[in-house]
Amino acid sequence: MEFLVEFEINPPEGIPESEVVDREEAETAAAGTLVEEGHLIRVWMLTAPDGESRILGLYRADNRAQLDRLIAALPLYEWMRVTVMPLEPHPNDPGASPRIEPVSRDLAMSDQLPDPRLTRVYRLDVTLGQPLDLGETSQGRRRIVPWRGGAFTGPELSGEVIPGASADWQIVLPDGTALADIRYTLQTDGGELLYGRSRGVRHGSAEILARLARGEDVDPSEYTFRTATEIETASPELDWLNKGVFISVGARQPGGVTYETYLVG
């Protein structure tokens, strides 16, 4: 959903100029993060009839509740008067794709499909334990890599890994490619429990995979580490996680691994 948001910012009297400057700089950084996450699309200055300047922002969010959380997290929020106007498509929108009479049913369906977008949910940094190598099983070379601990942070979620309830039951192919089957449990700072399961692949050249196997620090751009992730929770406030489709980008470091998890919108 898209929203047009009007901001009027009025710092209270007596606030030191240095605090105003610090908050404005923090606001600029926060806006940059919203742009990266695909929530902030455009920003304009508006001169109202009363001569006062206001800010107009075009935002994108899954729903009004998510938008409210994003705005409430802004550094200048407590000094703001905010007006939110939900936007709906108009048939005469000149920016919309022209209506084309389909020549087949397949083309008609493709014309209606929206472009996917990614929203970062959290970054997960994990400390790994000593792998248990089962050897060659009927499925391939099986390794179980326990998670000793870790933490995750994101725009709306943060917390820690629960050790003993998280590991990667991976298969390593003869060429060094690792097929990940990761099952992990997280606890948010608010006490909610999340169960995640990621299936994916880590592959690259023989030289790069050999360096990873030796525990060397390899730039993530030199290999591919991607997973499809499912998240479960019993928390009513986080029920949107149960309905989401997620992908993760991974990076292996000596003694640990990092995942950036994104919601596909």
| pLDDT, tens digit, 9 for 90 and up, residues 62-72 | 888 888 899 98
- pLDDT confidence tier of residue 113, bands split at 50, 70 and 90: confident
Domain boundaries along the sequence of the chain: 2-87, 118-264
* pLDDT, tens only, 188-203: 999 999 999 999 999 9
pLDDT higher than 60, residue 101: no
Query: What rounded mean pLDDT belongs to the chain?
Result: 86
Which structure tokens are listed for 209? Answer: 């995979």
Looking at CATH, the fold of the domain delimited by 2-87 is given as: Alpha-Beta Plaits (3.30.70)
* pLDDT, tens only, 171-180: 999 888 999 9
- pLDDT confidence tier of residue 76, bands split at 50, 70 and 90: confident
DSSP string computed for 104-167: SHHHHHHHHPPPP-EEEEEEEEEEE---EEEEEETTEEEEEEEEEEEEEE-SS-EEEE-TTS-E
- Note if the pTM is more than 0.85: no
- pLDDT confidence tier of residue 97, bands split at 50, 70 and 90: very low
pLDDT higher than 50, residue 143: yes
pLDDT higher than 90, residue 227: yes
- pLDDT confidence tier of residue 98, bands split at 50, 70 and 90: very low
Which structure tokens are listed for 21? Answer: 């400057």
* pLDDT, tens only, 33-61: 888 888 898 888 877 666 667 888 899 98
Whether 132 and 157 have beta carbons less than 8 Å apart is answered as no
| Letter string b/e over residues 222-261, b meaning 16 or more CB atoms within 10 A of that residue's CB | ebebebebebebeeeebeebeebebbbbbbbbeeebbbbb
Across the range 201-225, mean pLDDT stands at 89
Give the pLDDT of residue 89: 75
pLDDT higher than 70, residue 94: no
**The CATH number, out of the four listed (3.30.470.20, 3.40.50.300, 2.40.160.20, 3.90.25.10), of the domain defined by the range 118-264:** 2.40.160.20
Which structure tokens are listed for 83? Answer: 């007006």
